[in-house]
Structures are given as C-alpha cells and as structure tokens.
Amino acid sequence: MSLGSLRPSPLVEQAAEKLRAQITAGRWPVGTKLPGETTLAASLGVGRSTVREALRALAGAGLVRTRQGAGVFVIATRPVEDWAARLRSAGIADVYEVRAMLEVQAARMAAVRRTPADIAALDAALAARRQAADGDDAAFVEADIALHSAVVAAAGNPVLTDLFAEFAPALRAGLVHLIDLLDLRERDPNPGDATHSSLVEAIRSGDPEAASRALNAELTPILSRLRAH
C-alpha cells in the first residue's frame, strides 16, 4: 500500500495531512483500525516517530483515538473545527449575541459568588475603562473587555472564564469595528459608563436580577442596532 511520496520537510505535518486526506476520503471509515506504525511508516516513507507524531495530531483534531493495547481507530471523518478560527470568521452580530447570552448568566452568578478580591478587580477595571475614554478606540475596547472579563471571572467558574477568553480576540476586533460602524463614541467618549457602573454596583450588593438588567441594558440595544444595520 502506498500513500504517495512526501517532500523532505516538515515531515510530521505532511504525514498528518496524507493520513487526514485518506480518512476524510473514506478510505478508513469510522470504527476502522488504522494500519500499524510500521506499515504506515513504510507507506509514507518516513520513520515510526514521524508517524507517531502525525497520529497525535490527528487525535488532536478529533479524527482518531488510541485504544490501549488495541491500536489506533478512526472516530470521525471530519476534523473538529478550531473554535478560535470559527469565531474569527463569524459575523460580529453573531458573536455579540452569544456573548450577551454568556455574560448575562455570568453577571447573575457573579452577584452571588463574588469575593472581596473580585469586587476590588471590578472597581479597578471600571476605573481603567473611564481612564481609557481619553484614548483611542482600541485602548477603550481593551479596557471594556477587561471589565467584562472581570465580571466573568467573578462568576467563579473556570470553564466560563476560559470560554470568554476564547471570545476575546474576535470580540476585540469586532468592537473596534463596531464603534466606528455605529459611531458609538462620536458624542460620548465613554459610552455605557452608567450601565457599567450599575453592573458593578449590582454585583457588589449581591443582586443578580439587577446585574442581569444592567448588562442587558448595555448589550441589547447595541445588538438590536447590529441586527438592523
């Protein structure tokens, strides 16, 4: 069995791509055990260590899984899409909508779970956002995201924190564009200061309903304008 010759470098990436192509083409259906490392190495013209690394890459993509003592089996014919890449390609309105759903729940949780350290972080982030109003759009967006990140962190759920961190790059680029698109800072260099202040105070006072209302008051009008634009 020959899978075609490879260029000298980078061998691992090339080997992984060759194997991925065979899996996605249906040569090895889901549930099929792949040939052993020695067989694959001979077919690809590379060493077993290269095949081993290529199989790890395929496992990371969600295509194969190693079963101890049994071998490597195909578990999917399409790679799991990279979430960060998916967010980068998504429209800002779609990202913003999911962000709103995620953050409203995070704000409610933060109002219940916040610690003194969380409150200190929120106060500092709110002050930094106000100070950033004197800067350019990119600096203001950075400070705004930092405040919202502090809200999510105060929810006390590390998975939620990691999920919001995945949103941050797409959100950062989208918000800079959004400010320009909707002229959000044309009249007020610090838009949303009142709602952000209300949000922090609601979390401080332990009022999840008020925290939810404050965040909805901030995010919903912008989302509506985005959907209508």
- Model confidence over 4-44: pLDDT tens digits? 554 434 788 889 999 999 998 999 999 999 999 999 999 99
Write down which residue in 49, 74, 99 finishes a domain.
Answer: 74
Question: Within the chain, which residues score under 50 in pLDDT?
Answer: 6-9
pLDDT tens per residue, range 84-94: 556 555 677 88
Q: Where are the beta strands (DSSP E) in 24-177?
A: 64-67, 71-74
| Residue 5 belongs to a domain | no
Residues sharing a CB contact under 8 Å with residue 50, sequence separation 6 or more, in sequence order = 11, 12, 15, 41, 44
CA-wise closest residue to 215 among 117, 115, 101: 101
| Residue 208 belongs to a domain | yes
The greatest distance separating any two alpha carbons of the chain, rounded to the nearest whole angstrom, comes to 69
Domain with 20 in it? 11-74
Contact 182, 225 (CB under 8 A): yes
97 and 204 inside one domain: yes
116 and 161 inside one domain: yes
What per-residue confidence (pLDDT) applies to 121?
97
65 and 116 inside one domain: no
28 and 94 inside one domain: no
> What span, in angstroms and rounded, lies between the C-alpha atoms of 32 and 22?
12
pTM of the model: 0.64
What per-residue confidence (pLDDT) applies to 6?
46
**Quick one: 35 exposed, middle or buried, by C-beta within 10 A (0-12, 13-18, 19+)?**
middle
Given phi > 0 = left and psi -120 to 50 = alpha, else beta, which region is 33? beta
The DSSP 8-state label assigned to residue 189 in this structure reads: S
Count of the separate structural domains present in the chain: 2
DSSP bridge pairs for 65: 73
CB atoms closer than 10 angstroms to residue 125: 22
| Residue 4 belongs to a domain | no
> What are residue 79's phi and psi, to 5 degrees?
-65, 150
215: enclosing H helix or E strand: helix 208-228
189 and 128 inside one domain: yes
